[in-house]
Chain A
Amino acid sequence: MANVTLRNVRKTYQGGFEAIKGVNVDVADGQFCVLVGPSGCGKSTLLRMVAGLETVTGGEIDIGGRVVNQIEPADRDIAMVFQNYALYPHMSVYNNMAYGLRNRGMAEAEVKTRVDEAARVLELGAMLERKPRQLSGGQRQRVAMGRAIVRQPKVFLFDEPLSNLDAKLRIAMRVEIRKLQRRLKTTSIYVTHDQLEAMTLADILVVMNGGQVEQVGNPLAIYEKPATTFVASFIGAPPMNLMSIGSDEIKSQLGGSATDAGILGIRPEDFVITDQTPAGGVALPLTVEAIERVGAETFIYGSRAQDAQRIAANPGELPPGEVIVRVPGTEAPAIGAKIRVAAVRTKLHLFSGDGRTRIEA
């Protein structure tokens, strides 16, 4: 049991590339922290620095009140689950889990107790004598989890542990991991590029971009009040619609209250198809370009009448002038139809023109 604190952590590679540009994160004891961001944002590097697999070139990493910058991975009292599971291919499932305990000189009886307990929890009892290659992806994943939990470490580190599984299994394992962590109450840091995984697992969500933290906080709070346009478009699927406020139509509807704002964001699910304009809200006329019906909901891809200006490039960003609207599955306008969608004032997100600051209207 321990908290993990990152104080102004930096990583500069030889040759000057700065992968981590000063990260501050505080994970309280027993919390589940998720680092999320696009590939190359430094989230895995940061996790590997906490594990001790990468050197720290600046700042401090503190695990349970002890600065571990110079401490070997083995002595940090952490366990890690790797993306490719990193099971020992020549050892049985039992020995894979027992290895870390035996290395620490634990008595064989105690080793057996712990491995059997972990096998029971993870339903691996029937396959303790098998080799990893005889297991399915999901089973390997559970062995990797087992190897982590038998050690009863202070901190669990997960490096995209579900990305090699198929979609269905991924959801099942996601729930398993959350339940397991709730029960064990072990502080965890979890890296993923999947925003849905991040939203569902995290107590505390850290959104990273380009080696920096964009926003830290409760996942729902981040969803409701993204601090930058990057976070706004990264968290949530389909992404938030971002529109520049240069155009008269939007600016006039917003009125004088949003004079500093340069970008307006509206989530697809906050639109309703209506002819009315809510007070202080925004209404947009759209031409329906495409429709995706997925059962419970329908996604409408519409284009705005006039050309909107292109906004700063972000992952998942829509082509300029295109708007996604999410409506219940029962609604399905015809392609080419002219519709009018509106969002109420409280559902509008306003950002500065560079997208770096949120403006509360």
Chain B
Amino acid sequence: MQKQAIFQSKLLPYALVAPQLAIVLIFFYWPALQAVIQSFLLQDAFGLSTTFVWFENYIELFKDPAYFAAIVRTFLFSLAIAGSSLSLALLLAVMADKPLRGVMLYRTLLIWPYAVAPPVVGVLWIFMLHPSLGVLSRYLRAMGIDWNPLLDGDQAAALIILAAAWKQISYNFLFFLAGLQAIPKSVFEAAAIDGARPMRRFWTVTFPLLSPTIFFLLVVNIVYAFFDTFGIIDTMTRGGPGTSTVTLVYKVYSDGLLGGNLGSSAAQSVILMVLVIVLTGIQFRFVERKVTY
């Protein structure tokens, strides 16, 4: 059965959706259109003259080894962030799904980090791991690790991945827990009677049954790692040392707002837009089809 509202006037339905449409058009499509237009333009340093240059901004971009490096870096970051936060969240969710004493408290505490804004996450981790101020840095150095993410690019990257993954664990945890609770308990009981030990039960029953959730979260986490890590990067490393933590999104910001190259920055954001559209397309296509079973 289909729910259908009947309107007397032909105009009323349009009037009712107009505010929503206005918000979408003004705040999403108009800026997006601006970015597309901007990406075909070249401005001088003072913004006095503007030339239409067709695809020159894009061509320059793909000739730039720094841009290529940023692409590779962004993908590596995404994989590391999605991989580590997904696996840790799944582990925590499986443990929190058991009937334990105080399980509600445990679950609530695990969800909290999601309420922390990305820049705050960055600041928190910097406090802990800043080479001279950080409380944990002392122990790392005591263990013989030459810890200095302000100078060492790999350590800076690790720091970003750590903070970004930590924040995302809560979100993933919530979905995994919901996914686990959606599986009838009797299926696990049947597997237990069928002689599957806990580890085997996990890999042959739990994991396959969670695969739609896992796939959904994988896409969400990649999108998160691509875009929402900006606040963390900006507070923790500002893309440094050198360009070792400059991701695609951070490069849009640093080339455009810091470097003043608005044309290139716009071209980069258009590329990112296309990327998001592709990712979302994949997600809709597969999640609609319920991937697994």
Residues of chain A whose beta carbon lies under 8 Å from any beta carbon of chain B: 51-53, 72-74, 78-80, 82-84, 86-90, 99-100, 103-104, 131, 133, 147, 151
> B60 within 8 Å of A by Cβ?
no
Partner of B190, one of A72, A86, A90, A133: A86
Is B193 part of the contact surface with A, judged by Cβ < 8 Å?
A: yes
Q: How far is the CA of A35 from the CA of B292 in the complex (A)?
A: 38
The CA of A156 and the CA of B248, in the complex, are separated in Å by 61
Q: A86-B187, A103-B200 are in contact. Are A53 and B194 (CB under 8 A)?
A: no
Known: A86-B184, A99-B196, A100-B195. A80 touches B190 (CB 8 A): yes
CB contact under 8 A between A86 and B192, given known A103-B200, A131-B293: no
Which residues in A have their C-beta under 8 angstroms from that of B192? Answer: 53, 72-74
Whether B196 and A74, one on each chain, are in contact in the complex, defined by CB atoms closer than 8 angstroms, is yes
5 new A-B contacts at CB < 8 Å, known A51-B189, A86-B189, A88-B190 = A74-B195, A79-B193, A80-B190, A82-B190, A147-B190
B189 and A100 contact, CB distance less than 8 A:
no
Docked complex Cα distance between A53 and B204 (Å): 20
Known: A74-B196, A103-B195. A90 touches B292 (CB 8 A): yes
Of all chain B residues, the one with the shortest Cβ separation from A98 is B194
Contact in complex: B191, A88 (CB < 8 Å)? yes
Contact A73 B189 (CB under 8 A): yes
Query: Is B200 touching A51 in the complex (CB atoms < 8 A)?
Result: no
Lowest 10 A-B CB distances belong to which pairs?
Answer: A100-B194, A90-B293, A86-B186, A103-B195, A86-B190, A74-B195, A90-B208, A82-B186, A73-B193, A103-B196
Beta-carbon nearest neighbor of A95 in chain B = B204
User: Are B194 and A103 in contact (CB-based, < 8 A)?
Assistant: yes
Nearest residue, chain A, Cβ from B194: A100
Chain A CB within 8 A of B94 CB: no
18 A–B contacts from the bound complex (CB under 8 Å): A73-B189, A73-B192, A74-B192, A78-B193, A82-B186, A86-B184, A86-B187, A86-B189, A87-B187, A89-B187, A90-B293, A99-B194, A99-B196, A99-B204, A100-B193, A103-B196, A103-B200, A104-B195
> Beyond A100-B194, A103-B194, A103-B195, is A90–B189 a contact (Cβ under 8 Å)?
no
Given A88-B205, A89-B209, A89-B293, answer yes or no on A82-B189 (Cβ-Cβ < 8 Å): yes
Chain A residues with Cβ below 8 Å from B195 are 74, 100, 103-104
Residues 166-193 of B, flagged 1 when their CB comes within 8 A of A and 0 if not, give 0000000000000000001011011111
Task: Tell me whether chain A's interface is mostly helix, strand or loop, or mixed.
Answer: loop
Q: How far is the CB of B80 from chain A (nearest CB, A)?
A: 29
- Candidates B184, B191, B209; contact of A99 at CB < 8 Å: B191
Within 8 A of A (CB), among B182-223: 184, 186-187, 189-197, 200, 204-205, 208-209, 211
Cβ A51 vs Cβ B193 within 8 A: yes
Contacts of A90 in B (CB 8 A): 208-209, 211, 292-293
Query: Who on chain B is nearest to A131 by CB?
Result: B293
Separation in Å of the A50 CB from the closest CB of chain B? 11
Q: How far is the CB of B100 from chain A (nearest CB, A)?
A: 12
How many Å lie between the Cα of A131 and that of B208 in the bound state? 14
Nearest-Cβ distance from residue B195 to partner chain A, whole angstroms: 4
**Chain A residues closer than 8 Å to B208, beta-carbon distance:** 90
Residue on B nearest A99 in the bound complex, by CB: B194
Nearest-Cβ distance from residue B229 to partner chain A, whole angstroms: 34
- Note all chain B residues with C-beta closer than 8 A to A51: 189, 193
Bound: A133/B146 CA distance, A:
57
Q: Which of A52, A74, A133 interacts with B194 by CB under 8 Å?
A: A74
Chain A residues in 8 Å Cβ range of B184:
84, 86
Bound CA–CA A82/B194 (angstroms): 13
A-contact 0/1 string along B244-272, CB 8 Å cutoff: 00000000000000000000000000000
Residue from A72, A84, A147 within 8 A of B186 (CB atoms) = A84
List, in ascending order, chain A residues with CB within 8 A of B196's CB. 74, 99, 103
Q: How far is the CA of A216 from the CA of B95 in the complex (A)?
A: 42
Cβ A80 vs Cβ B193 within 8 A: yes
Q: Residue on A with the closest CB to B208?
A: A90
* Per-position 1/0 for B26-49, Cβ under 8 A of A: 000000000000000000000000
B contact residues around A99 at 8 Å (CB): 191, 194, 196, 204
Shortest distance in angstroms between B206's beta carbon and chain A's nearest beta carbon?
Answer: 11
CA distance A243 to B186 in the complex (A): 43
Chain A hits for B191, CB < 8 A: 88, 99
Residues of B within 8 Å of A80, CB to CB, are 189-190, 193
Min C-beta distance of A130 to chain B, whole Å? 12
**B189 adjacent to A53 (CB under 8 Å):** yes
Complex Cα distance, B292 from A133, in Å, reads: 12
Complex Cα distance, B189 from A80, in Å, reads: 9
Assembly CA distance A195 to B73 (angstroms) = 68
A100 to B200, alpha carbons, bound, how many Å? 12
- A99 CB to closest chain B CB, in angstroms? 5
Closest to B196 in A: A103
Indicate with 1 or 0, residue by residue over B8-31, a CB within 8 angstroms of chain A CB atoms.
Answer: 000000000000000000000000
Closest to B211 in A: A90
* Nearest B residue to A97, CB-CB: B194
Residues B189 and A147 in contact, CB atoms below 8 Å apart: no
A117 to B96, CA, bound (A): 41
Residue in B187, B193, B197, B211 whose beta carbon sits within 8 Å of that of A88 in the complex: B187
A42 CB → nearest B CB, Å: 18
A188 to B187, CA, bound (A): 21
In the complex, residue of chain A having the shortest beta-carbon distance to the beta carbon of B292: A90
Interfacial chain A residues near B187, Cβ < 8 Å: 86-89
Q: In angstroms, how far is the closest chain A Cβ from the Cβ of B146?
A: 48
- Distance in angstroms from B259 CB to nearest chain A CB is 51
A131 to B186, CA, bound (A): 18
